[in-house]
A and B are shown apart, each in its own frame.
Chain A
């Protein structure tokens, strides 16, 4: 599956902030690491703020700080702020299949959607941080 850029940036930003929850990160700091503009990232951070996952800290040394629960916030929680993870609708443009062929394909796509939602809904920011650390360790020992 493909994730929209905004979803990816949101996850990366949360991983940065949640790894150091006592720190504030500026948009410029995160943008520099992931090679994205501050303008683009600021929109993402605003959405995360509305979702009560981050808070902005004004003034000198300010920025954004993680205020969610890393052990309970899942990738699905984040991604759904920016896009719908479900597969496309029926060819007719409606939400219900109008032919048996569309119904059969919808059934197969529903299988994939269920696995997708279960996977994204079970991986927390905390678990992602462990995955990042594991990769870092493997990379360092090679």
Chain B
């Protein structure tokens, strides 16, 4: 994967005057991923993120992507700014191969400054290189932050309805 350096939007915060660097996740990033997710969701999902690293980063699959954003001049010990995970899935629910984004998180204090956009654009480019021309995601009704972000990134409602029931 070609690593990406992106100029962030102008911001009042001094810390993001430097470009953002997007790269594949490394094992050393996972504690920061776990910590960021726990800060945002309130849940510690260590096993889930370690397994995600094995599936989408360590395995070096051509169609799975676990990307992180960091400040270009990031010094040792400084945390990542955010991460995104996705993969190409084929024929699930009758869908032709397309890219699925199923995790995206940005450090809360650094939102609205281009980090999410940079992650999204980079994974979009990777999906395109993989040969797919459609990308999808799923967002809870009450997750206004993610809904607004993906809508603002050009995503619209797709042809599927998610259904569910309780198992009694």
> Which stretch from B10-18, B35-43, B72-80, B141-149 is at the chain A interface?
B141-149
CB distance from B78 to the nearest CB of A (A): 27
B135 to chain A, nearest CB (A): 16
Asked whether any CB of chain A lies closer than 8 Å to the CB of B152, the reply is yes
Q: In the complex, how many angstroms separate the beta carbon of B80 from the nearest chain A beta carbon?
A: 24
Please judge, given known A-B contacts A71-B112, A114-B141, A118-B141, whether A124 and B151 are in contact too, CB under 8 Å.
yes
Which residues of chain A are near B142, meaning CB under 8 Å?
118
Q: Is the CB of A118 within 8 A of B112?
A: no
A121 surroundings in chain B (CB, below 8 A): 144, 147
Flag if A119 contacts B152 (CB, 8 Å).
no
Mask, A40-73, CB within 8 Å of B = 1, is: 0000000000000000000000000000000100
Residues of B within 8 Å of A134, CB to CB, are 154
A109 interface contact, C-beta 8 A: no
Q: Taking the complex as formed, is A135 at the interface, i.e. its CB lies under 8 A from any CB of chain B?
A: no
Contact between chains at A122 and B148 (CB < 8 Å): yes
Inter-chain CA distance A122–B148, complex, in Å, is: 5
Q: Are B148 and A74 within 8 A (Cβ)?
A: yes
112-168 of chain B: CB within 8 A of chain A = 112, 141-142, 144, 147-148, 151-152, 154, 157
Residues on A lying within 8 angstroms of B by beta carbon are 71, 74, 114-115, 117-119, 121-124, 126-127, 130, 134
